[in-house]
Amino acid sequence: MVPLIVGIAGGSGSGKTTVAEEIAHRLKGESVCLVSHDSYYHDHSELSLDERARINYDHPAAFDTELLIRHLEELRAGRPVDVPIYNYATHARMRDSRRIEPAQVVIVEGILVLVEPRLVELMDIKIFVDADPDIRFIRRLERDVRDRGRALQSIVEQYRATVRPMHREYCEPSKRMADIIIPRGGHNTVAIDIIVAKLRAILHPTICPEPKPPIERE
């Protein structure tokens, strides 16, 4: 069976990573792998740390999406890939990579995974995780201070300069490409239940047959 590719997009702090991890967790007994678009930031190790910090990381050009597309094609063909490891503290790729083996379900998540048409074409199910802007900002603020060692002022400046305008220009409009929109992120257990049931029905059609479409009546 050709692997299923599930794309999960949403603004920074929307809960898309939580949704991706929860779907993978609930698909116990299935072969699942997770791929993050963030791992594919272009490497700018030739620049100084200050120069790297000023890059617009919320623009599509910040990502090596060509490499991600090639990797998804490899996984779909049943071949393993070596995914880059990105260091958020230094804004650069690390020397090591992470080997990902082919799986029945490949979940790819990131703020802009529904923006590039060729990437979208590879996806069997497209999901957009929605959340209120204030919730997203608070989550991003807490995460960047706790996990990435960022200063409060730099987080606020980055949000104003790039995160907020790029969300409006690229991320939010990509919502129209989604098959499913999940409000409240990882807290929306009903939506996650439905997605997991759909995936199981595709993986095991004889055990979990999909419901037939309603009969049209005149």
**How far is CA 138 from each of CA 143, 144, 181, 188, rounded to the nearest angstrom?**
9, 10, 21, 19
The CA distance from 205 to 213, in Å, is 15
pLDDT at 19: 96
Looking up tokens 């979940």 gives 107
| pTM for this prediction | 0.89
Judge whether 45 and 70 are in contact, CB under 8 Å: no
Q: Do residues 171 and 111 make contact, with C-beta atoms less than 8 angstroms apart?
A: yes
Question: Is the dihedral angle over the CA atoms 68, 35, 85, 9 positive or is it negative?
Answer: positive
Look at residue 149 in the predicted model and tell me its pLDDT: 79
Instruction: Give the pLDDT score at 75.
Output: 97
Rounded distance between C-alpha atoms, residue 7 and residue 48, angstroms: 33
Which segments of the chain have a pLDDT < 70?
207-218
Burial letters 56-78, b for 16+ CB under 10 A, else e: ebbeeebbbbeebbebbeebeee
Q: Which residues contact 37 (CB under 8 A, 6 or more apart)?
A: 63, 65, 68, 108, 109, 110, 111, 112, 113
Q: What per-residue confidence (pLDDT) applies to 143?
A: 87
What CATH topology corresponds to 4-203? Answer: Rossmann fold (3.40.50)
